[in-house]
Amino acid sequence: MKILGIETSCDETGIAIYDDQQGLLANQLYSQISLHADYGGVVPELASRDHIRKTVPLIQAALKQANLTRDDIDAVAYTAGPGLIGALLVGASIGRSLAYAWDVPAIAVHHMEGHLLAPMLESHPPQFPFVALLVSGGHTQLIKVTDIGHYELLGESIDDAAGEAFDKTAKLLGIDYPGGAKLSKLAQAGDSKRFHFPRPMTDRPGLDFSFSGLKTFAANTIHQNQPLSEQTKADIARAFEDALVDTLVIKSKRALEQTGYKSLVIAGGVSANLTLRQRLAELMSKRGGQVYYPRLEFCTDNGAMIAYAGMVHLKKNQLADLAIDVKPRWPLNEL
């Protein structure tokens, strides 16, 4: 079965074709970073308009890349939420309409389930059960995963997501949007001993996160060290990244201890952070377990994860009806 996947939840248009026998046949991605850079963040209306311009041409490009025609497609999967409602409506409208016109099933996919299942695209995928750490610009969650569609929320951020905190702190340091990855690169030149930032909510029980206070601590440190030299910027970036990564590792360890699981999946945009990957690999090595994550190109939003999730739901006959229904807020445990 060949599934066309459409991802338009925020500022990246992702189109892919996945075959349950041959794997990924095509993957097309367009990023709107340059479009939003002048505004220092994503402008929802501009994002929606750009998805309108790019989605159909990218579908055509994916079909050409896979050397297929529309008659070869067995189903169309699209992101139905969570995300920016206008952006979601573009992908859902196009996806549902194509499925109707091509007389094939349509599958509405949860964006975060797509991220959670992205490591399944690799040659050595994780086996159930496992703990999933989902870290992106909009979400920071620890999920107990016993099977496809069986997800229990163990903890989440009560304010800023990890990726959001990265980007906001980068902006405070004068780093251009999107600043999270650039802050991490800057941190490599930082002195880890100069500043010490708090590890929020690690001094109390539980698996929830809070990163707004960490961002405020960074803002105060920046204010107290004006004017900022390049080395001071690097030192602050290092202290911030170390604190955020430590917090994620500490909470992940607690989740593993609570569940008794030996496998940890990390996915979402922040899963591309090399420091986080290294620290989690060390954690799992000490515990005699294994950490799994998608390749870098599948950490950020992409159509491949939506196509794969669509294939899983198609096999379970979990299909969308004719209504075009999107959910800007959609808890994963409601699946």
Binding-site members for substrate are 134-138, 167, 180, 273
Residue pointed to by tokens 């620290």: 279
Token representation of residue 311: 């294939």
Q: Which parts are annotated binding residues?
A: 111, 115, 134-138, 167, 180, 273, 301
Q: Which parts are annotated binding residues for Fe cation?
A: 111, 115, 301
Angle of the 162-172 helix axis to the 180-187 helix axis, nearest 10: 70
Q: What are phi and psi of 233, to 5 degrees?
A: -60, -45
Spatial distance between the Cα atoms of 262 and 157, rounded to a whole number of angstroms: 23
Asked if 156 and 211 count as a contact pair (C-beta separation under 8 A), the reply is: no
Spatial distance between the Cα atoms of 111 and 63, rounded to a whole number of angstroms: 23
Asked if 164 and 177 count as a contact pair (C-beta separation under 8 A), the reply is: no
Token representation of residue 86: 């206008």
CA neighbor of 198 nearest in space, from 250, 256, 272: 250
Rounded to the nearest angstrom, the gap between the alpha carbon of residue 94 and the centroid of all alpha carbons in its chain is 22
Spatial distance between the Cα atoms of 180 and 182, rounded to a whole number of angstroms: 5
